[in-house]
Structure 1
Amino acid sequence: MFKSFFLDRRWFHWSILGSALILYVTWYKVELDVQINEWFGSFYNLIQKALAEPNTVEFNEFLASCLDFLTIATIYIVVAVILEFFIRHYVFRWRTAMNDYYVSHWSKIRHIEGASQRIQEDTMRFARIVESLGVSFMRSIMTLFAFLPILWVLSENITELPWIGEVSRSLVYIAILSALFGTVLLAIVGIKLPGLEFKNQKVEAAYRKELVYGEDHEDRAEPETLKELFFNVRRNYFNLYRHYLYFDIAKWSYLQGTVIVPYIALGPTIVSGAVTLGVLQQIIRAFGKVEDSFQFLVNSWSTIVELMSIYKRLKGFEEQIDLAIEAEQSAAAD
């Protein structure tokens, strides 16, 4: 899954240099986010001044501030589009590397149930998901490094927390505790999902295999056989849906609940008028960025579950290849 792409000199430009380019551009996007956060502060302060003191802000000044955002946003859009285009090619090259490796050992693995699916579908899904999760994880780390110092400084403006009182740098600790709570909650609630996803792919593969045999052999894919196999698919899916139900309840309850957390924490500061509207927007946005960074596992848990299922299938696939190679080497030595 990895050595065929990252340890093969044929793919050096894509695997190593391509990964470095993706990380660099991702960091640049984070820097643009920081610029947008700074713009929010000045822009909302301008709005507050215009509303509090009518006719003190000229339209040209207001328009110039809007154009500043447009400039940053345009750069962000161009960079994001080019990066996504490059990533799609990067993923396909990774799939090609895995495909070439598995196909070269096809005679050793063709007997494995779902072998065709693993080569045709799982390789693409694996490369896409690992790339997506990897970039998301690195973006979370980069965002954390960029916005945590900003939130740390902005927390100086927080006078006190409700029901607690003064706590130095309070918003940083609240963001960490909130994300930690959500991560532990979803890890516990979703503990059964990886196994169910893996089982789901097994019953799907069995059903698909019988249908494929039925295309070439009249005695295969009989209605009764297909009915039984599809019943297994149906039963497993319904079981999966049931477990995802309480997982989604926990996930969305947590994510929606955290929206209001920074406002409650800022309540005493807001009602006392200790900060301007611009500073408030900067704090809320920086808090959201830091919290999102800490919530990587929360936001990615469903994708991680899918990846674990694909990894198990491809790992078993590669183990069969290794065993066949070892058997050939032993036979040759004898």
Structure 2
Amino acid sequence: MFQSFFPKPGLFFSSAILWTAIAAAIWYGGGDQWGQYVGLGVPSAADANVVGIGYFVTPTFLWFSVYYTVSVGIFGLFWRLFSSNPWQLWSVFGSAVIIFTTFFDVEVSVAINNWRRPFFDDVQNALSGKALVTAVDLYVLILQFAEIALCAMFLFVVTRFLVSHWIFRWRTAMNSFYMTHWQKLRTTEGAAQRVQEDTMRFASVVEGLGISLVGAVLTLVAFLPLLWGLSKYVTRLPLVGDIPAPLVTAAIVWSVLGTLLLALVGVKLPGLEFHNQRVEAAYRKELVYGEDNPNRAEPATVSELFHFVRHNYFRLYWHYTYFNVFRGLYLQADNVFALVILIPTIAAGSTIGFTFGVLQQVLTAFSQVSGSFQYLVSAWTTIIELLSIYKRLRAFEASIYLTSH
């Protein structure tokens, strides 16, 4: 699965994590200020609050883009010299480009969140008559939102095009690897399905989960400091009272509880999905044999095999029923959780400067942070699918090494 596309997978991923940690340590250790030495301007804290598309041309953003490109170039060059792989252009540099576009997408969310405060504050002031707000002021802010939205749309189209090609390259690499060992694999039950279907699904699911995980981490990096800063407006939490960084604490506790809940109620699903594919493969194989051999796929045999399929599906339906009940209850509660914990603050808003614009920023930042911590909650069904595919392909690949010894 991995060795066909990535150079020396175990060492590659370990080195990628180590190099990321080193690059991050340099950045947060003062490297974020080095852009001024190459003529990109002096980064400042004010860059994080720029409203509109100008956010993407601030010294901080431009220097990070250059810094990321140089870091990836060094890492990619090392692996180019250390271990040659025919798919290295896509597996190393293609992955790096996809990660950067994911980072850019997170920054689009930050830019939109920066826009929320001035826009909704102007709306509140216009409706209350407390300040002079003209239609032109609101139209200018709408135009700024449109610029960010168009940027996001362009990024989405380009990213999906690139990701589609990246997935198919990985599938091609796995297909070539398995076909090289086809004589050892062909007798494995469901061999054709493993090569034709599971390679496609594995690459696609890994890409989706991987990008979601990277996006969740980058969202935390971008929005946690913002949510921490917005906590100064929150007076107290219901039932809890005054605690340090109440918004951040509430987001973490709420997300961890949801993750543990769904992990507990969904613990049996991966094994059932794996078994489901095995009985489906056995049923399909017998039908395929029956196409060419009149002595195969007899009614009694087919009926027995289909009985196993039916039994496993009914077990899946039952386990997914209670899993979906708990998942649905949690997600519905999540829709109003932020508002519930903000009720004391909203009630005291006029005395602590808690405006409508601040409320919008808090709700968005809280949603982004809690959503990132809820990665396993939102991705659990996809993770179950991936574990099932992974088990099937690992069992499939075992035939190569079994017959080799």
TMscore range, shorter length: over 0.9
Q: How does 1:203-214 map to 2 (within 5 A)?
A: 203-214=279-290
How far residue 136 of structure 1 moved from its aligned partner, in angstroms, is 0.3
What residue number does 1:293 align with?
372
What residue number does 1:87 align with?
163
Aligned mates of 1:164, 1:251 — CA distance in 2: 25
Which moves more between the two structures, 220-229 or 172-181?
Answer: 220-229
2:221 counterpart of 1:142: no
Q: How does 1:1-334 map to 2 (within 5 A)?
A: 1-7=1-7, 9-53=85-129, 56-273=132-349, 274=352, 275-326=354-405
How far residue 55 of structure 1 moved from its aligned partner, in angstroms, is 8.8
**Aligned 8 A contact 1:43 1:65 in 2:** yes
Tell me the alpha carbon deviations over residues 303-324 of structure 1, each in whole angstroms, 9 at most, x when there is no partner: 1111111111111111110122
Aligned mates of 2:179, 2:238 — CA distance in 1: 62
Aligned mates of 1:96, 1:215 — CA distance in 2: 29
Deviation >3 Å, runs of 4+:
none
Q: TM-score, normalised by structure 2?
A: 0.79
Q: Tell me, what secondary structure is at the counterpart of 1:3? A: coil
**Aligned 8 A contact 1:114 1:205 in 2:** yes
Aligned mates of 1:202, 1:264 — CA distance in 2: 46
Ranked by relative contact order (alpha carbons within 8 Å, sequence separation 6 or more), the top structure is: 1
Distance 1:135 1:271, change over 3 A: same
Uncovered stretches (5+) of structure 2, i.e. residues with no partner: 8-83
**Aligned 8 A contact 1:156 1:168 in 2:** no
Aligned mates of 2:229, 2:131 — CA distance in 1: 33
The residue type paired with residue 316 of structure 2 is L
Sequence identity percentage: 51
Aligned mates of 1:87, 1:138 — CA distance in 2: 14
Aligned mates of 2:197, 2:241 — CA distance in 1: 55
**Aligned 8 A contact 2:274 2:388 in 1:** yes
**Aligned 8 A contact 2:125 2:131 in 1:** no
Aligned mates of 1:163, 1:194 — CA distance in 2: 38
What residue number does 1:331 align with?
none
What residue number does 2:50 align with?
none
The residue type paired with residue 295 of structure 2 is D
Aligned mates of 2:3, 2:114 — CA distance in 1: 43
Q: TM-score, normalised by structure 1?
A: 0.95
Distance 1:250 1:24, change over 3 A: same
Uncovered stretches (5+) of structure 1, i.e. residues with no partner: 327-334
The residue type paired with residue 201 of structure 1 is Q
Distance 1:55 1:290, change over 3 A: closer
How far residue 133 of structure 1 moved from its aligned partner, in angstroms, is 0.5
RMSD: 1.2
The residue type paired with residue 6 of structure 1 is F
Aligned mates of 2:384, 2:187 — CA distance in 1: 27
Aligned mates of 2:148, 2:344 — CA distance in 1: 33
Aligned mates of 1:234, 1:163 — CA distance in 2: 49
How far residue 42 of structure 1 moved from its aligned partner, in angstroms, is 1.3
